Amino acid sequence: MGYTPNVLGRNLRIKSTRKILVLIPTLSNQFYSSVIRGMENVARKEGYQVLISATYSQKETEKELIAMLYNRSVDGIILLSSQLSSKELTEIARVKPLVLCCEYTDGALLPAVTIDNYQAGFQAVEYLIQLGHQKIALISNNTVFSGRQRSQGYRDALKTYHCRYMPSYCVETEYTFQAGVSATKKLMKLPDPPTAIFAISDVLAAGVIKELYAQGKCPGKDVDVFGFDNISLAKMITPSLSTVSQPRRQMGEQAMKLLLQKIEDIHTENPLVILPHQLIFRQSTHDRKI
Partner DNA sequence: TTGTATGCGTTATCAG
Partner DNA sequence: CTGATAACGCATACAA
Which residues in this chain contact its own copies in the complex, by CB under 8 A? 4-9, 11-12, 17, 19, 21, 26-30, 32-34, 36-37, 40, 49-54, 64-65, 67-68, 70-73, 177, 206-207, 209-210, 213, 232-233, 235-238
Count other C-beta atoms under 10 Å from residue 208's C-beta: 28
Contact region with DNA (CB under 7 A), list: 9-17, 83-91, 116-124, 185-193: 9-17
- Segment 164-169 long-range contacts (CB within 8 Å, at least 24 positions apart): 164/134, 166/135, 169/135, 169/136, 169/137, 169/138, 169/194
Exposed, middle or buried, 230 (CB in 10 Å: 0-12/13-18/19+)? buried
Nearer to DNA, 15 or 162 (CB): 15
Interface with DNA, residue 9, by CB under 7 A: yes
Nearer to its own copies, 27 or 109 (CB): 27
Read off φ and ψ for residue 63, nearest 5 degrees: -65, -45
DSSP symbols for 112-141: EEEE-HHHHHHHHHHHHHHTT---EEEEE-
Helix 117-130 with 145-160: angle, nearest 10 deg: 40
CB of 36 to DNA, least distance (A): 28
Nearer to its own copies, 125 or 225 (CB): 225
Q: Which one-letter amino acid corresponds to residue 8? A: L
Which H or E run contains 273?
A: strand 272-275
Nearer to DNA, 74 or 124 (CB): 74
Interface with DNA, residue 95, by CB under 7 A: no
CB of 278 to its own copies, least distance (A): 20
Q: Convert residues 13-42 into a mask of x (bound to DNA by CB under 7 A) and - (unbound).
A: xxx---------------------------
- Which of 1, 2, 6, 288 is the binder for DNA (CB under 7 A)? 6
Interface with DNA, residue 47, by CB under 7 A: no
CB of 95 to DNA, least distance (A): 15
209 binds, among its own copies, DNA, none (CB under 5 to 8 A by kind): its own copies
CB of 191 to its own copies, least distance (A): 27
CB 121 within 8 A of CB 149: yes
Nearer to DNA, 70 or 165 (CB): 70
CB of 73 to DNA, least distance (A): 12
What ranges in the chain are assigned the alpha helix state H? 7-14, 31-45, 59-70, 86-95, 117-130, 145-160, 177-188, 202-214, 233-236, 248-264
CB 18 within 8 A of CB 49: yes
Nearer to DNA, 6 or 267 (CB): 6
CB of 72 to DNA, least distance (A): 8
Nearer to DNA, 1 or 8 (CB): 8
Produce one character per residue of 132-167: b if its CB has 16 or more CB atoms within 10 Å, e if not. Answer: ebebbbbbbbeebbbbbbbbbbbbbbbeeeebeeee
Contact residues for DNA, defined by CB under 7 A: 4-6, 8-10, 12-15
